[in-house]
Structure 1
Amino acid sequence: MTAPLDVSGQELQAAPEAVLDGAQGKAIEGRSLGQIAWTRLKRDKVALTGAGVVIFLILVAIFAPLIVSWFGHPPNDFNQDLISSETLAPKDGTGISADHLFGVEPVNGRDIFSRVVYGARISLLIAFLATLLSVAIGTLLGVMAGYFGGWVDSVISKAMDVFLAFPLLVFAIALAGVVPDSAFGLSGDALRVSLLIFIIGFFNWPYIGRIMRGQTLSLREREFIDAARSLGARGPYIIFREMLPNLVAPILIYATLLIPTNILFEAALSFLGVGVRPPTATWGGMLSDAVRFYTIPHFMFFPGMAIFITVLAFNLFGDGLRDALDPRAR
C-alpha cells in the first residue's frame, strides 16, 4: 500500500505536530443510554416545547396563591359591581381589564383568571397521583404475571379483563354521588380529591398492566435473566433488581401519556357534577357553569383552552419521550 500523493505526484508526509496531536488527543468517551436518549430528545423541538409547557403548568399550580395575589383576585370573591342587574352578565360584555385578565363570571363576578389558575392545582394533583397509583399497581401485577406465569398469570390476566370490561364512568358517577360529605376521616375537598384519585387510579391499572406483562414475557427469556437464575437469584431479586430497571423506559412513556387521559377524566366528572364540589375551582366545573351562558364565550373559552393546552403539551412530550427512549418504535 503506497502513501497518498499530492498534485505533483510526490508522496505526502504528515507533519510531526499533527502526529503528536493525534497521539495526545482525548480518548473517545462512551455514552450511557440516558445520555443517548437525552441527545435524541434535544433534537425534537416539539417535544421540548411540550415539556416546557408542562413545567410551566406545574409551577403555576404550585405557586397559584402567589400568582393570584399579583395578577388576580381571590377565586371565590364576588364582584357584583361588575355585573349588570338586568342581564346578569358583565357590564362591558366580558369584564376583561388590567385587574381581571380573563374577565369575570356572569351572575357573581368571580375572577376567571384566578379560578383557572387554582383549577390547575386540582387537575394536575388528581392526574399525577392517579397516574402514580395506576402505574404502581399495573407495573407490579403485570411483572408478576409475566415472570411467574402459570396460575399467577391466569388469575391476574382474568382480573385485568374484568377491570377493562368495567363501566368506569358509570361507576365513578354512582360512587362519587353516594359518598357523604364526611367519610374515612376526611371531609370537604380532601375527601373528594382522594375519592377521585382512587376511582381514576385504581380502575385504570390494567392498561399499563398489560403492557408490563408483555414486556416481562420478552425480558424473562433474555440471557441476563438466565445468568441471574444460574447464580441462585430468586424471583423477587430478579423482578426488582433485573427486570424493573429495564422497564423504566416504557413506564415513563406510558405515564406521560396516561396523565392527560386522567386530566380529561377528572374534567368530565367535574363537568357532570360528581367531581370536586363548588365553590372550589376546577376546569370541568367552570365548563359546566359556562354551558348556561353560551352567549358569553369567554366564560367557556379560558377553562377549555387550559384543558386543551395541558393535554396537548403532555401528549407532545410523551410522543417525543417515546421516540427518544425507543427509537425502534418510530
Structure 2
Amino acid sequence: MSAPLDVPGGATEAQPEAVLSGAGVAVQGRSLTQIAWLRLRRDRWALAGGAIVVFLILVAIFAPLVVRLLGHPPNEFHPDQIDPNLSTPIGPYGGISREFLLGVEPLNGRDLFSRVVYGARISLLIAFLATVLSVLIGTVLGVVAGYYGRWIDTLISRTMDLFLAFPLLVFALALAGVVPDSAFGLSGDALRIALLIFIIGFFNWPYIGRIVRGQTLSLREREFVDAARSLGARTPYIMFRELLPNLAAPILVYATLLIPTNILFEAALSYLGVGVRPPTATWGGMLSDATTYYRVDPVFMLVPGIAIFVTVLAFNIFGDGLRDALDPRAR
C-alpha cells in the first residue's frame, strides 16, 4: 500500500487539480471544432487539397486582376500567333511563351491561360450555388422526413426515389434547348448560369436528403431530444436547434464531395453545347472546341482537361480528409 502524499493545504491525498495547480499548468478543454482541426492538420494530403481549393477560389474571384497581370483579354484574337497555312499556333507546345503562359487556341489565337482562369469562375460559381441549393432542400426535407416518420417520411422518401430515377442529363438537354434567350427577367449568360444552377441543384438534393434522413432517424431517439421535449420545446425548435447542429458534420462533408460532381456535370453540359454559350469561356466548352484540333494541337485539350482533373481531385481529397477529421470512427 502506498503512503499518502502530503500537499500544501493539509490534504492527505493529491488531487489532479492540486498537482496541476502546483505545477503551474492551466487545463483547458477543447471544442469539437478544435479537435477536428487537430486531426485535419495531421493529414497532409487533405491540407494540400484544401490549399489547392482555396487557391482556385481566389483565382476565380480575382480573375480580372490575374488576367490583367499575366495574360490577355479572354475573347481577344491574336492572328499573329497562328500559322496561316495550318491554322495552328506558331511555335512548340501550342504556342507557349512568356507572353502566352499556356499557349493559344488554334484558328483564332485566344489566350488559353485567360480563358481557363475565366472558365474557373463559371465552373466554381455554378458548382457552389448548385450545391448550396441541393444542401438547403435536402437538409430541410431530410430532417422533416426523419423526425416525423410515418406517412410524411413515406411521401418524401418516394419523392427522393422519383428524383433519383429521373434521367437528369436528358432533362437538362431538353430544358436548356427550349428555354429562350430571355426569360424570368434574365438574358444571356445570367440566364444560362441560373438555368444550370436550377437543373443541377434542384435535381441533386435527394442524395444529401437520404443522408440527413438516416442521421435524423438515429438522433431523434437520443437523450437530448427527450430532454428538450420534456422541457416543452416545440417541434421546429427540436428539429432546427437540437438536431440540425448535430447534422452539421455529415452535411459539410457531403457538400465538399458534391461540389466536384457538380463541376463535372456543368462541364458535361457545356461540352454538349447546352451550357453557357460562346464566346464566354467554360472548361467544358473549351474541351468541346478542342475535339476538332486534338490531333494537331493536343495542348488545347490538355489545358482545360487538367484544370478539371486537378479541381475535382483537390475537392475529393479535401472532402475525404474532412470526413476523417470529423468522424474518425468511419475510417
TM-score bracket for the superposition, by shorter chain length: over 0.9
Residue 232 of structure 1: CA displacement?
Answer: 1.1
Residue aligning to 1:14: none
Whole-Å Cα distance in 2 between the matches of residues 248 and 20 of structure 1? 38
Query: Where do 1:251-330 residues align within 5 Å?
Result: 251-295=251-295, 296-330=297-331
Identity of aligned residues (%): 75
Residue aligning to 2:6: none
Residue aligning to 1:35: 34
- Aligned pair in 2 of structure 1 residues 20, 127: CA closer, same or farther (>3 Å)? closer
Aligned-partner residue type, residue 46 of structure 2: A
RMSD of equivalent CA atoms: 1.2
More deviation in 57-66 or 90-99?
A: 90-99
- Aligned pair in 2 of structure 1 residues 328, 72: CA closer, same or farther (>3 Å)? same
Aligned-partner residue type, residue 280 of structure 1: T
Residue 151 of structure 1: CA displacement?
Answer: 1.3
Unmatched runs of 5 consecutive residues or more in structure 1:
4-18
**SS in structure 1 at match of 2:300:** helix
Residue aligning to 2:111: 111
Residues 91-112 of structure 1: per-residue CA shift (max 9 Å, x gap): 2242111110000000000000
Aligned: 1:60 with 2:59: yes
Residue aligning to 1:187: 187
Whole-Å Cα distance in 2 between the matches of residues 319 and 44 of structure 1? 10
Whole-Å Cα distance in 2 between the matches of residues 195 and 24 of structure 1? 64
More deviation in 83-92 or 209-218?
A: 83-92
Residue aligning to 1:145: 145
**SS in structure 1 at match of 2:95:** coil
Residue 24 of structure 1: CA displacement?
Answer: 4.5
- Aligned pair in 2 of structure 1 residues 155, 87: CA closer, same or farther (>3 Å)? same
Residue 155 of structure 1: CA displacement?
Answer: 0.8
| Length-normalised TM-score, structure 2 | 0.93
**SS in structure 2 at match of 1:129:** helix
Whole-Å Cα distance in 1 between the matches of residues 181 and 204 of structure 2? 25
Whole-Å Cα distance in 1 between the matches of residues 2 and 325 of structure 2? 45
Residue aligning to 2:8: none
- Aligned pair in 2 of structure 1 residues 215, 21: CA closer, same or farther (>3 Å)? closer
Query: Where do 1:138-287 residues align within 5 Å?
Result: 138-287=138-287
Whole-Å Cα distance in 1 between the matches of residues 306 and 269 of structure 2? 18
Aligned-partner residue type, residue 61 of structure 1: A
8 Å contact from structure 2 (residues 129, 197) kept in 1: yes
**SS in structure 2 at match of 1:237:** helix
**SS in structure 2 at match of 1:143:** helix
Whole-Å Cα distance in 1 between the matches of residues 251 and 63 of structure 2? 30
Residue 2 of structure 1: CA displacement?
Answer: 5.1
Residue aligning to 2:9: none
Query: Where do 1:80-95 residues align within 5 Å?
Result: 80-93=79-92, 94-95=94-95
Aligned-partner residue type, residue 25 of structure 1: G
8 Å contact from structure 2 (residues 119, 283) kept in 1: yes
Whole-Å Cα distance in 2 between the matches of residues 55 and 196 of structure 1? 23
**SS in structure 1 at match of 2:29:** coil
Residue aligning to 1:25: 24
Whole-Å Cα distance in 1 between the matches of residues 133 and 90 of structure 2? 46
**SS in structure 1 at match of 2:291:** helix
**SS in structure 1 at match of 2:122:** helix
Whole-Å Cα distance in 1 between the matches of residues 28 and 272 of structure 2? 57
- Aligned pair in 2 of structure 1 residues 20, 147: CA closer, same or farther (>3 Å)? closer
- Aligned pair in 2 of structure 1 residues 230, 198: CA closer, same or farther (>3 Å)? same
Residue aligning to 1:7: none
8 Å contact from structure 2 (residues 20, 26) kept in 1: no
Residues 16-74 of structure 1: per-residue CA shift (max 9 Å, x gap): xxx99861422321111111100000000000000000000000000000000000000
**SS in structure 1 at match of 2:292:** helix
More deviation in 63-72 or 89-98?
A: 89-98
8 Å contact from structure 2 (residues 124, 263) kept in 1: yes
Residue aligning to 1:10: none
